[in-house]
Amino acid sequence: MFKISFDFRMSFRKKDSEPLTETSTVRLSNFTNREALLMGQSRSISTLNNYRTAVASVIRFAGDNVTLADITADMTEAYQAWLRSHGICLNTVSCYMRSLRTIYNRAVEAGIVADARPFRRVFTGKTPTDKRSADIADIRSLLSLKLTPGTPLELARDMFVFSFYAMGMPFIDLAFLRKSQITRSHILYYRHKTGQRICVAIEPCMADIISRHSDTANEYVFPILRSVSTENALREYATRLSTYNRALKRLAAMAGIKLTLTSYVARHTWASAAFRSDVDLKVISKAMGHTNPRTTMVYIRELDDNSTEQANRMVIESVISTGRTPVQGR
């Protein structure tokens, strides 16, 4: 596996002086940057970030000079093996491959490469994921932590809890939340991913967090971003997201939470808690800014995965309740 990946990386290295006028030498990075500008109005920020992240990963594998013509079935298969050898899960592999496929298909439409179906041998589907929602007890454990005021850990804990309080507000929307989007009683924002309008009533527990981290010199609600330039703010956001997720892992260890905490766990946790509280699925979808309730089910499907567990418990209890032990071999 490692040898295949190494061989492909070696074969992709080209001279920096290669011209970009011929279609066979159009670099993947250059084409992606151009297409990202063209797609800026029709794609969400998170989708464009997915494209750039995928391309950055390919460059780490194949080198700075990887071209569109280099993307073949053999190359993507080796790239997939390289990702897996570095511990990347299949769903992340699929996300990278689907992003690259979108870029490649645009190159096909532009006549730069022929449609050679380079992604036919790699995984582009979805696999069941581990539990991604925490328990209410986990939220309480985080709240009970004695953290030094003004530290990054306290900010990370408060952002996670605020995300939960605010009906699963994604971290990117927390980061870009401006003071102008807040009234005395409500938060009004549009999701970066879907553009859906979300209105959240400000509860006292949320107001406490806002006041604790308010900075009069910053037009953002929380001290996550500083730059007001969209391009610079996005780069800043990517760094802060990574820092945030590392802090959440530390907080989980401190609070004795076995689940791996990430920025999206708060969102999953709110959806699961609402579902357990018999909130209508359509209401949960609206609160989370989903255009389709089936998307919401991705967040709460895990709650229905205990049917076999319940069935087995019934079988065992039927045996225990009779006071008899099954005979071996029957």
**What pLDDT shows up at residue 81?**
93
Q: Are 118 and 104 in contact (CB under 8 A)?
A: yes
pTM: 0.64
Query: Could you tell me the CA-to-CA distances from 224 to 9, 124, 131, 170, 243 in Å, in that order?
Result: 37, 34, 28, 13, 10
Q: What's the CA angle centered on 179, arms 177 and 180, to 5 degrees?
A: 100
Give the amino acid at 177. Answer: L
Rg (CA), the chain: 24
If residue 67 lies in a helix (H) or strand (E), which one and from where to where? none
- pLDDT band for 104, please (50, 70, 90 cuts): very high
In sequence order, what are the residues at sequence separation of 6 or more whose Cβ sits closer than 8 angstroms to the Cβ of residue 239?
Answer: none
- pLDDT band for 251, please (50, 70, 90 cuts): very high
Q: Which domains does the chain have, with CATH numbers?
A: 2-109 (1.10.150), 136-304 (1.10.443.10)
Average pLDDT over residues 199-221: 91
Average pLDDT over residues 16-21: 38
| Residue of higher predicted confidence among 232 and 319 | 232
CA-wise closest residue to 50 among 224, 192, 245: 192
Examine the pLDDT at 129 and tell me if it is beyond 50.
yes
